[in-house]
Amino acid sequence: MTAQQKKRKPTLESLAWRTSPGILGHHPATPESIHALLGYYLNDRTSPSPYPGRDMLLDGSLFDWGVASPLEKVINGEDELELLLGLPEVYRQSVHVVEPWQNVGINLQGEAVRASKNVAYILQQVADADTILYPLWQSGVFNPRRMAHTMSAGIATIVQGGNPSAYDPDSFAGAAAGLDDLLSLVDELLLRRSTDSGPSIFICLGHQLAASSHIRLLRRAVTEIEATTHLPLDDNGRILANLKRVAGDIREMGENLQVIKNGEVIATGWQDRCFAVAPNEQVEVGERQLLPYGSQNVLKDHIPSVLYDTHALVADDLEGVIDTMLRSERTLKISMFHGDEVNEEAALFASWGYKLLHDTLVPIRYRIAVTPLAWLLSMPYAIEILSQTCVAGDDWTEVGTTCIYYKDWETHTIRRSFTCQFHPELMADIRDIGKREGPRYAELKDNDGARLLVRLLYHGMQE
C-alpha cells in the first residue's frame, strides 16, 4: 500500500456501510418501529417472532465486527466518526456500543468472549435495531466530548465490559485507550442525558467505570465551586457562601468515608484508587439469581446514616425499572462474569452528594446557568442501588445494578440511565454469538438477561 493510499479517507463504498437502518424488515427501521417491537417482545414470553422466517442464520466466520452486515459499522478513528456525522439517519437510529477492551473475559471453555456481538444480535433479532461499534481498546478515545454527543444522539449507548480493573491504570497496558481516557469519555456520557438524548447502559467494567466517574464528577464539582469567587445577582455573597458550605460538606464526607470488606479497610477517602471499585471477596462467574438491594438486611456501622436515609428517600420516590421487574417478573437469573465490584459505600455517597448538590442548586440555577459552573446543571440527580447477588452465602455483590436519575430543572420530569455488574446479553453458557449458535426469537423471548436488557432500552427510550 502506498503512502497516498494510507492517507485516503474511508468512504461509504469502501466500508460497505448501509445507509438504510435495519435488515430484517421490508422497509427501513425507525425509532418508532424499534420501540414498538421492543414493547411487543416484553408483552409476554411466548408470542411468535414479528419477522417469521427471518431468524438470522449465522455463518460464525462472518458474524464479527467489520466483516459483514449487520456488524459493518465500526468507528476506528476520527475519519470514520466524521463520516458517521454526515449520516444522521444512521447514527440517530442506532444503538452505540462502546468496547473498552477487546473482550469481556475468558469463559470456562477457554474462549475470549466478545459480548458486544451478543448485544448487536439480540437487538437486531428483537427489534431490527442496528448497532455501531466503538472499539476504544483499538482506536483510542480521540475526542471524548464529540464522541459522547454523537453516541447520546442515538437510540442508546451501551458501554461494555472487559478484563481490566477500574482502579488499576496498569491493567489497561497495551490498549490504545488507558483508564483516564475511558473515564474522560464516561464523564461526558454521564453529563449528556438531556431532552434529546438516549439512555446509557453501563455493563460490568462499564458499570465500574461509571461508579468511578461519579466520584470524579463530584470531586470536580466541589473543587470548582470552592474556586468560584462571585455569582451574578449575589452582591452580598450569601448564596455563594451557602453553595460553598454544601461543597465543603461533600468534601468532608468524601475525604473521610471508609470502604470496609470483611472487617478490613480497603480504602479511605475519595482520592483512594479503590474507593469506588475494589476486588470482590470472590470471583463471581456463572448464573446467579438477582435479588433486591438490601436482601441481606444489614446496615454497616461505618456508613453514616444520612447516606442510607437519602438512598431510601430516592428509592421510595422513584422507579428504577429493575426493582419493578424483581417485584413483577418471575425469579430473575443473570450471568455474572467479574472479579471486581462497585463499593456500596461509594454508590451511597455518590447518590447523597448528587442529591444534596442538586437540591442546593435548584433555587439558584439561573445564576449558575450564566457562569462556568453551568455544567453542574447536567449532573445526575441521584443514584439508586436496585439489586445485588450473593456469591457463596456470605459474600455479596451489593451493587449489582443501579439507576442513574436525572431531573429536568424546569419540568421536573425524570430521565434514567442504568448500570449493571452482570452481562444481560450473555446466555448461560457465557459464549459470544458466532462461537455459539445464535439463539432464535423464542429463546430470547424467555431469557431473563435479554429481557432485562430490552426492558432498560424500552423504558429509557421513552424519556
Question: In sequence order, what are the beta bridge partners of 291?
Answer: 388
pLDDT for 235-249, tens place per residue?
Answer: 899 999 999 999 999
- The single-letter DSSP state of residue 267 is E
User: For the residues 100-119, what does the mean pLDDT come to?
Assistant: 91
Per mean pLDDT, which range of 98-107, 109-118, 287-296, 382-391 is the poorest? 287-296
- Cα separation, 141 vs 38, in Å, equals 31
CB 86 within 8 A of CB 108: no
CATH code, 308: 3.40.50.880
- Cα separation, 126 vs 421, in Å, equals 23
The set of residues, in sequence order, having a beta carbon less than 8 Å from that of 1 and lying 6+ positions away, is none
How many residues are given for the chain?
463
- Cα separation, 292 vs 463, in Å, equals 24
Has residue 7 got a pLDDT over 80?
A: no
pLDDT at 336: 65
Q: How far is CA 299 from CA 82, 295, 306, 314, in A?
A: 50, 11, 12, 17
What DSSP string describes 191-219?
Answer: T--STT---EEEETHHHHHHHHHHHHHHH
pLDDT band at residue 1, thresholds of 50, 70 and 90? very low
Only one residue has cell 414479528, namely 50
User: For the residues 261-268, what does the mean pLDDT come to?
Assistant: 93
| Domain tally, the chain | 1
User: For the residues 327-336, what does the mean pLDDT come to?
Assistant: 65
Residue type, 220: R
Only one residue has cell 466466520, namely 61
Query: Shortest CA distance to 69 belongs to which of 101, 138, 23?
Result: 23
**Helices 448-461 and 31-43, interaxial angle, to 10°?**
140
Has residue 338 got a pLDDT over 80?
A: no
pLDDT band at residue 428, thresholds of 50, 70 and 90? confident
Where do the H-state alpha helices sit in 69-112? 78-85, 88-91
Q: Is 199 exposed, middle or buried (0-12, 13-18, 19+ CB in 10 A)?
A: buried
Q: Note down the domain range covering 151.
A: 3-461
Query: Shortest CA distance to 422 belongs to which of 101, 200, 205?
Result: 205
Has residue 59 got a pLDDT over 90?
A: no
Has residue 335 got a pLDDT over 80?
A: no
**Segment (H or E) for 379:** none
- Cα separation, 185 vs 92, in Å, equals 19
User: For the residues 155-181, what does the mean pLDDT come to?
Assistant: 96
Q: Considering the chain, what percentage of its residues have pLDDT values greater than 70?
A: 91
pLDDT for 285-325, tens place per residue?
Answer: 666 778 888 867 678 999 999 999 999 999 999 887 777 76
- Cα separation, 416 vs 409, in Å, equals 14
Query: Shortest CA distance to 400 belongs to which of 415, 412, 385, 410?
Result: 385
Query: Shortest CA distance to 70 belongs to which of 433, 407, 344?
Result: 433
Mean pLDDT of the chain: 90
pLDDT at 318: 87
CB 394 within 8 A of CB 288: no
User: For the residues 336-340, what does the mean pLDDT come to?
Assistant: 71
User: For the residues 58-72, what does the mean pLDDT come to?
Assistant: 81
Has residue 363 got a pLDDT over 90?
A: yes
Has residue 254 got a pLDDT over 80?
A: yes
CB 441 within 8 A of CB 48: yes
